[in-house]
Amino acid sequence: MSLATVIAEMLESGKVTVFANNVEALEINAANKKIDINALNKEFLKQALAAARDGKKSKGTLDSIKETVGQIKTARSSLGQLKGVAEELSEVGITVTLSYKGDVVVTIGSQAKPKLSSAATGTKAIEINSPRKLIELGI
């Protein structure tokens, strides 16, 4: 059982707001085996994701190509990890949604009902609710 699944099972209900530089960045709501992570600040989310991707600056065309290939490899690895967590959450009846300003972007876990996105993710435990918002967030 992954750490994410253990944490999700321990959460009964509650609300947390995360601030970055005195600006609301994330709002996390938990209730009835459902966790909604609502991104309120797109720039915060982009910076967090860039930091997670090891935000190295490229110096030239060759470096840019190498960086793109590296990002593709990282994305494949990350998708595999996300797929595993999503399937574990689904097995224990937990749902996690990522929203942007109240609009659901991605649903993972038991309430995910993918249509075409299962072909891209390789699992029925991840639903891309808004591809346009997903791209806008840079995920």
Please give the Cα distance from 7 to 14 (Å, whole number).
13
pLDDT confidence bin for 1, thresholds 50/70/90:
low
Q: 120: number of CA atoms within 13 Å, CB side?
A: 9
- Domain hosting 50: range is 3-137
Question: Distance between CA atoms of 11 and 106, rounded to whole angstroms?
Answer: 20
pLDDT at residue number 72: 43
Tokens of 24: 């609301």
Quote the CA–CA distance of 5 and 19 in Å, as a whole number: 25
pLDDT digits over 102-123, tens only?
A: 899 999 999 999 887 777 778 8
Q: Indicate the number of domains in the chain.
A: 1
Residue 42 binned pLDDT confidence (cut-offs 50, 70, 90)? confident
Rounded Cα gap, residues 70 and 93, in angstroms: 34
Cα 49-52-57 angle, rounded to 5 deg: 90
Tens digit of each residue's pLDDT (9 = 90 or more) over 53-97:
554 454 555 554 555 445 444 444 556 777 888 888 899 899 999
Q: CA-CA distance, 113 to 107, in Å (whole number)? A: 8
Q: What is the pTM of this model?
A: 0.72
Structure-token pair, residue 132: 């346009």
